Amino acid sequence: MDEIKIKIKTEDEIVSEESLSQQPGIENTESRERKPKIVIVSLTSCEGCQFALLDLGVKFVEAMEEVEMVDFRLLEDLEDTGEELDVAFVEGNPMTEANKKTLLELRRRSKILVVIGNCAAMGGIPEIRNYHEQKQTVKHVYKYIQGIETEEVKEVDNFVKVDFTLPGCPITGEEFLCYLPLLLAGQIPNIPDNPVCLECKKNGNRCLLLDKKPCFGPMILGGCNSVCTNSGMGCQGCRGLRPGANVKAMKATLKTMISEEEFENTTEIYGLRDDIEEWEKNHSS
Ligand code: SF4
Ligand code: SF4
Ligand code: SF4
């Protein structure tokens, strides 16, 4: 029969190991293994931004090996245990009381709160109803049902502090992967203030404006690889105004191609209209 040896550590040995692990630069096993805790949570939305992440396939799975996923409904059905979080990614609009409660709770638990997508950041497609008479909108959508109540759509930052925004409808999966490591390290990334035109020209596209086709690209924040203009569609601004946008000049250019009404209608698609109004208010003098 083989001899089994058991080494019992003395109290001194245990104490000296513990004090060694607490010295700066020396990690204990537990801290070395601790992964940042994240959630990806959807409020009221189409969940398209979350699917943009799943569309990354293996790249997304590999990125998730670096984190502890506490909640992501599209991947698993585990109960969120309510623990503290390093980063909370939030998609969609806080439209219901349950949404608002979830959002406030996520903010309380998270070191960094990131909004993902145009809905959460700018109101998105649901915000179209803010620009029209509520009763007419409800009647238009629910022709045969009465008693439907709706309220004004408000972006996430009306309810909680937002640390970082990943723009787009949907978000760009590659951009998520690009900024994820910084966020996990507790830092807030900075998206370069480049227009969509930069990527559009790099992609070898002929500028649509030359053919009098409307495109909002020059005043919109790049980072989507000019996915619309690559297909011959004008940019409609789902990533929002870039910090250095010259809305006045852009509007004047576009109005040589489209009517005031067409301009307004386009800016309503992705919740750009109120941002343009705010820009004009801030640059009125
Ligand atoms: S931003 Fe677009 S893709 Fe993302 S949730 Fe809203 S509508 Fe869906
Ligand atoms: S097509 Fe649009 S995005 Fe491309 S260069 Fe022209 S204005 Fe810019
Ligand atoms: S080209 Fe414009 S509308 Fe299209 S994805 Fe990029 S920012 Fe959004």
Domain with 108 in it: what CATH number? 3.40.50.700
Say if 42 falls within a structural domain. yes
Ligand 2 and 235: CB distance under 6 A: yes
Say if 276 falls within a structural domain. yes
What are phi and psi for residue 116, nearest 5 degrees? -115, 125
Residue in 226, 254, 266 to alter for ligand 3 test, most ligand atoms within 8 A of Cβ: 226
Helix axes 247-254, 273-282, angle to 10 degrees: 120
Alpha carbon 91 to its chain centroid, in Å, reads: 6
Residue 2 scores a pLDDT above 50: no
Q: Please give the pLDDT value at position 32.
A: 57
| End-of-domain residue from the set 158, 184, 210 | 184
Ligand 2 and 236: CB distance under 6 A: no
Containing domain of residue 202, as a range?
196-282
- Residues 203-230 have pLDDT tens digits of 999 999 999 999 999 999 999 999 999 9
Ligand 2 and 214: CB distance under 6 A: no
Cα 52 from Cα 73, distance rounded (Å): 14
Measure 145 CA to ligand 3 centroid, in angstroms: 35
Contact 194, 242 (CB under 8 A): yes
Q: For residue 28, which of 14, 12, 17, 37 has the smallest C-alpha distance?
A: 17
pTM value surpassing 0.75: yes
Judgement on whether residues 201 and 126 belong to the same structural domain of the protein: no
Judgement on whether residues 140 and 171 belong to the same structural domain of the protein: yes
Torsion, Cα 79 37 171 48, to 10 degrees, reads -10
Say if 18 falls within a structural domain. no
Tell me which H or E stretch contains 284: none
Ligand 2 and 95: CB distance under 6 A: no
Report residues whose beta carbon is within 6 angstroms of any ligand 3 atom: 168, 196, 220, 224, 226-229, 235-239
Ligand 1 and 172: CB distance under 6 A: no
| End-of-domain residue from the set 136, 153, 184 | 184
For all residues of the chain together, what is the average pLDDT?
A: 89
